[in-house]
Chains A and B, each alone.
Chain A
Amino acid sequence: MCGQLLRWVYFFKLAVRRASIISCAPQQNPTSPSHHKDVLRDCVTLSPTCAAVLDERGHGPKLLMEAVVDGTLPCLEQLPWLTPYQAAFYNMQLLQGDSHVALGPFWARAGRCSASDVEQLNFFNAAKEAAQPSGQAPPFYTYGLSVTIGASEVFSYAVPPAKPGTYADLVVSSQKAFATGGVELLIAHTRDVDGFPTYVPDARTYRKFASPKMPLKVLVGRSTRRHRLASASGLSTASASSRTLSWPSPGQSTER
């Protein structure tokens, strides 16, 4: 069945949709495309609102995300759609392209939690949901293959303490790591559920490192300064010409 691979190319133009809502300080917002590099820093630098709520380093969303995960955000009951998954999704989505101008205000509103903030955030979420394409959408996730590869390869060697003992612990730890929705399911799945399909991975490449010859950049989720330091020390390969690929030590890697 797998010996023959037929292929075809399908293409379409994507209709770009935007939902602009609120702003930190409209006259000062970094709206030009040249400001994409550090959205939160720009926002807290340029806007008193952002600086007051997101703190000078722009780490407010981290604390607010904790409040969403723990259920302690004061107005959470009035924002029923703001699940940990949705919060993480908005974090990622709002960092893309021109949407970045909404990230600071989004968390500023969530942190302040006034009646007006709740109204605006609900309006924002409704606008985003309304902007979703109608009709049959392509699937974003395929459960069966996820479980099969997860159990056979990439999650097969999970061991404690990185593999919490209970499903509840898995949920908490993965939500705090923005990994909501998949990892905890897969790990628990291999322990709790019967009958999942597995295979023996192809030995030619399994658990082996590539030796890339091309320029290669590895992003491991640290700040720019730390990233440069990691690159200089060889932990992160910024230009890996003819060098065996190396990875960060435990504690430095990130996953989705």
Chain B
Amino acid sequence: MTAFVRRFYAGAVATNKSLWMFAGGPGDTAESFAGGAAYFNSYDPTVTVYLLDQRGVGMSTPSVNCANPPLYDYDPNNQTTMDAYSACNMEIAETFGPTIKFFGTYYAAVDYLTVVNMVNADKVAIYALSFGTYAMNMYMQLPGARADVVILDGPVPPNRWALERDPDVKSLVAQVKHAHAHTRAYHWMVRWTRPTCPC
């Protein structure tokens, strides 16, 4: 297996102050945070941002996918589409067999811990979004899990269905505010990473 990690830093060399960003999904790659990484670098050049594609996802290999994965054209009334989904699923099941369990979130958390330890930065800050918070909850249960500070943004609870909420307009307001929370999280993180921060 190969875990794909990319890092962003402003100067000539990576710094010892690390920020790790756990992507959502499941299935999203850390590439979605590339813009945020550039923002952090521009705001605080002493931070090095690390983005890891969870095993089975994105540029990490092997990819848990079929040769021709379906697009977002899910239609339960279209038998052709449904057959395509089923065929893709069966191809994945056949390819990976019982080893598919090793692509579960627990092993993703173990990967994160392994890579964090490999980098061995002086400071470890972790920002996790959506499903990334579910993975982060597992990470924090691992013996020796490292983090000096953690932000869970839009948490997915580990013990109940994440959509257990009122799907009316009020929830939409909350979602707009949730988008605001992203910006607040960035500021909170930046404050923490400032050399003068007492936290």
Contact = CB atoms under 8 A, between A and B. Distances in A.
A250 B163 CA distance: 8
B166 A251 contact: yes
A144 B64 contact: yes
A93 B34 CA distance: 12
A148 B151 contact: no
A227 B153 CA distance: 12
A141 B27 contact: yes
A210 to B, nearest CB: 4
- Give the bracket for the number of chain A residues in contact with chain B: 35 or more
Given A144-B88, A145-B26, A256-B129, A2 B107 contact: yes
B15 interface: no
Contacts of A61: 176
Given A167-B76, A212-B140, A216-B150, A149 B27 contact: yes
Interface string A114-126: 0000000000000
A221 B181 CA distance: 6
A96 B162 CA distance: 25
Given A33-B43, A143-B27, A4 B1 contact: yes
Contact of B34 (A14, A37, A222): A14
Interface string A202-213: 101111111110
Contact of B37 (A14, A163, A221, A248): A14
Interface string A132-169: 00000011111111111110111101110011000100
Contacts of A11: 6-9, 14
A72 B179 CA distance: 23
B174 A222 contact: yes
B87 to A, nearest CB: 8
If over half of A's interface residues share one DSSP class (helix, strand or loop), that class is named, otherwise mixed; here it is loop
A254 interface: yes
A211 B178 CA distance: 24
Interface string B52-67: 0011111100011110
B82 interface: yes
A66 B169 contact: yes
Interface in B41-86: 42-43, 54-59, 63-66, 69-70, 72, 74-76, 82, 85-86
Contacts of B139: 210
A145 B157 CA distance: 19
Contacts of B182: 92, 95-96, 219
26 contacts: A12-B6, A37-B187, A92-B179, A96-B39, A96-B182, A138-B59, A140-B31, A141-B25, A142-B56, A148-B103, A154-B26, A154-B131, A195-B89, A195-B93, A197-B89, A197-B96, A205-B109, A205-B142, A211-B141, A212-B147, A214-B149, A215-B199, A216-B149, A219-B178, A247-B155, A250-B164
Interface of B: 1-9, 14, 24-29, 31-32, 34-39, 42-43, 54-59, 63-66, 69-70, 72, 74-76, 82, 85-90, 92-93, 96, 98-107, 109, 111, 114-115, 118, 129-131, 134, 137-142, 147-169, 171-188, 199
